């Protein structure tokens, strides 16, 4: 099982940088980078809500689930 964070696509679609998102949601650039690269092990609902508000998206737009037998990423 793998959870994919599709932050790059959403940032590109909104023409927003990771730095701009960091300033809007009040998270460090380092923490957002960890999330963006898929190295995060957890995310707080308040953080998810802040990101969704800044990007005008739903949690399902940001997070995707891939089962173990799925080969595409």
Burial class (CB in 10 A: 0-12, 13-18, 19+), 7: buried
Q: Give the pTM.
A: 0.87
- pLDDT per residue, tens digit, the chain (73 aa), is 789 999 999 999 999 999 999 999 999 999 999 999 989 999 999 999 999 999 999 999 999 998 887 665 5
CA 64 to chain centre: 10
Q: Which residue has the tokens 């964070």?
A: 5
CB 60 within 8 A of CB 10: no
Q: Which domains are seen in the chain, by residue range?
A: 2-66 (1.10.260.40)
User: What is the rounded CA–CA span in Å between residue 6 and residue 27?
Assistant: 17
39-22-17-45 Cα dihedral, nearest 10 degrees: 60
């Amino acid at each position: 099982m793998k959870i994919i964070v599709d932050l790059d696509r959403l940032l590109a679609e909104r023409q927003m940088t990771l730095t701009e998102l960091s300033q809007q949601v009040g998270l460090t650039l380092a923490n957002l980078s960890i999330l963006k690269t898929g190295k995060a092990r957890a995310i707080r609902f308040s953080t998810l809500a802040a990101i969704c508000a800044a990007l005008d998206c739903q949690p399902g737009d940001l997070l995707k689930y891939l089962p173990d037998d799925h080969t595409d990423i």
